[in-house]
Amino acid sequence: MLIYVIAIMIGFFVTALMGPWFIPYLRRLKFGQSILEDGPVWHSAKSGTPTMGGIMFIAGTVVACVFLVRDARAYYALIMALFFGFIGFIDDYTKVVKKRNKGLSARQKLFLQILVSAAYLISLRIGGYIDTGLMIPFINTKIELSALYYPAAVFIIVGCVNAVNLTDGLDGLASSVTIPVCVFFTAVSFIFHAQGLGVLSCAVCGGLIGFLIYNAHPAKVFMGDTGSLFLGGAVCALAFAYNIPVILVFAGIVYVIEALSDIIQVISFKSTGRRVFKMAPIHHHFEMCGWSENRIVAVFTAVSAAFCLLAFLGVSRYYYM
């Protein structure tokens, strides 16, 4: 338990102490966020806010893991998250330096994400950490997928990582809803006796708490795709390292809802010419309904925490029966 507390503290202090010099450094480099035209009009006031701040909690996570982790599986998970973060870094760099607001093309990002996902799954398989069955929480059973497992797993990882990226649309939203997810994976580490993975999730958690000092509304810095893709990679890496990927439907419920709202909006508009939501993803819908950013973040975080508790009950029931 003490090592978990130390991991949180390292993640927190490294991130928090970076803020006073790293954020001005991003400003000097003119690494300001360009606000997409299809977002709420009042978000234009955020234009120029430094982005790529995710480097701060990535640094906190890496420092904590280097000092505390001695488990190969945890390093596999960290490396996957770092590779996704690097994809995000390339995307951010393209936006802020090359002045291409959309960053990398969808095809480029998809190719790189599939490549990283496949490499991670192969590493886990070679290490004997996963099999080709999907554990279904709550109903105490496992479905054998055989060769279908790998394309399904890649689909889950890429889909979840991009759902986390979609969630990063309001000040402090992605950071706040991911903290309960990190707490969930820390709790799961006790069931699986996987201290290394617990340290990794604690380090991310501490880093996010430190990052919220600067990312809470009104944000002084954005995590950018560097941070959101790292977070998505970390969440997926932990789920697969524990060999419980289906649990992402529950623990990552906010990510799922955000992605589904975007998909539903696109399908509805293209097929009927009508929009289901005032704006997608769904956090923008609530903004258009008059909710403040702080209220949305608070409600979404509460939903994330409630479903993470539900997810823990589902996992603990399976492994203790």
pLDDT digits (tens, 9 = 90+) for 75-91: 999 999 999 999 999 99
Supply the mean pLDDT for the chain: 91
Inter-residue contact 255 to 162 (CB < 8 Å): no
Inter-residue contact 258 to 166 (CB < 8 Å): yes
Q: What is the rounded CA–CA span in Å between residue 196 and residue 81?
A: 15
- pLDDT over 80 at 288, yes or no: yes
pLDDT digits (tens, 9 = 90+) for 192-227: 999 999 999 999 999 999 999 999 999 999 999 999
Q: What is the rounded CA–CA span in Å between residue 307 and residue 299?
A: 12
Q: What is the rounded CA–CA span in Å between residue 270 and residue 273?
A: 6
- pLDDT band at residue 100 using 50, 70 and 90 as cut-offs: low
Which of the two residues, 36 and 15, has the higher pLDDT score? Answer: 15
Contacts of 41 (CB under 8 A, 6+ apart): none
Q: What is the rounded CA–CA span in Å between residue 112 and residue 225?
A: 14
pTM flag (> 0.75): yes
- The domains of the chain are located at 72-193+219-320
